[in-house]
Amino acid sequence: MTIDLRYGASKTLCLTPTEEQSVQAHSIAIESLDHALNETIHKSLDTSVHFPAFKEIVFPEDTLAISVGQGVPQVAKVISCILDYIQTSTAISPNDITIVFANEQEALAIHQLEALLDEFLLSSLTMEVHNPDISEDLAYLTATAEGDPIRLNKTLVDADVVLPICSNLPDSLFGHAGFFHDLFPLFTETETILRFRSQQDAASLTRDAIEAANMLGVQYLVKVTPANDDEIHNITAGDTYTLQTTVPAIAKQVWQHPHSPADLCIGSISGPPHHQTWDNFARALSGLAKSTNPGGSIVICSELEGPLPAPIKFLSSNDATDHLREQLRQQPDVNIQAAQEILRLKTDYHLYLLSSLDGDDVESIGLAHIESPDQVNNLISSADSITIVGDAHRATVE
């Protein structure tokens, strides 16, 4: 038996369990769109159950803010197709359109847009990268049930119409804020982002995300369900009420798997460099742990690279918990959530990492460094039960 597991931008790992072993494989080859993306998006924007087409809810001289969430596959092409629809089906001027990216990683799509859009359209649009540290770029919306302020990107708050482009993934993903995750906390302030990342309170995060979207007046959005790598499984556009009752089922169908614990779980993180993040590593680790027997082994295959972020480095110390708490107080960092999850799980499981990181760095934080793909098959040979999950950072367990 052979199973090809894609990871990183273009690599494939050939896994070779035997017929005698108990093997389950999930999300290995998810069906992707096989027809024109532009046609699909035009049709989606024109078709919405119990709600007008997008062209009927925007008017000349409206200011339109297109918010771009995190991890949307082929995001530059998606934006290009939406802009084509706006130009051909509405009277909105390109000068009144601002595209707001959630962070610097997502803003890498701007370079791809430069190749996809004509020069006049490109020069007419405004591109903005959300900066959660600049208070002048934020506007107060409301307060949480606990009395904490909810501030959102000012461009989104001030726009006549906001059209979010969002990933459609299971609500139960580690660190995920449910249906409106790609609005809140992505487009809020650093203090709020870090509060939720450090506390990992999924229920209150989801509640506040719904409140933020309602106060922002979001009526219509685009949901993109990823396939493997940077491919698209489904695109649906429509009013928020209808989509909340329909698109979560699409994500569950392709990314939610039955609970069946194994001795060894192997997961991948595939896609371009901006998918190779510690956030995605933490999501993959959290999901795979739910499918691994206590004391079992978890392998993550990725192309993580670069120096270790400060919170991850603290995992090498004997008092990592105290260090992380102090880091959160003195110099907060978005990677604290990932560090906390690694710290939580590394005492209960054997954690292995295939990456582009320095091997000594990997070993220093309590993970076993995999030098070559052959070592993964060595682990397979000694396991009775094995679960293999493609793009484990998007997958959850029922």
Residue-level pLDDT, tens digit, the chain, 398 residues: 899 999 999 999 999 999 899 999 999 999 998 678 999 999 999 987 778 999 999 999 999 999 999 999 999 999 999 999 999 999 999 999 999 999 998 999 999 999 999 999 999 999 999 999 899 999 998 888 888 888 999 999 999 999 999 999 998 888 888 899 999 989 999 888 877 766 656 788 888 889 999 999 999 999 999 999 999 999 999 999 999 999 999 999 999 999 889 999 999 999 999 899 999 999 999 999 999 999 999 999 999 999 999 889 888 877 766 766 666 555 566 788 888 889 899 989 999 999 999 999 999 999 999 998 889 999 999 999 999 999 999 999 98
The neighbour count for residue 396, using CB atoms within 10 Å, is: 23
Local structure of 29: helix, strand or coil: coil
Report phi then psi at 313, rounded to 5. -60, -35
Question: Mind giving me the DSSP string for 32-74?
Answer: ---S-HHHHHHHHHH--TTS--GGGS--TT--EEEEE-SS-TT
Other CB atoms within 10 Å distance of the CB of residue 280:
25
H helix or E strand, kind and range, residue 281: helix 278-289
Verify cis geometry, omega within 30 degrees of 0, for the bond prior to 185: yes
pLDDT in tens, 195-204: 776 665 678 8
pTM for the model = 0.92
Q: Structural domains in the chain? A: 3-31+256-397 (3.90.226.30), 37-226 (3.40.50.11440)
**For 354-380, what is each residue's pLDDT tens digit?**
999 999 999 999 999 999 888 999 999
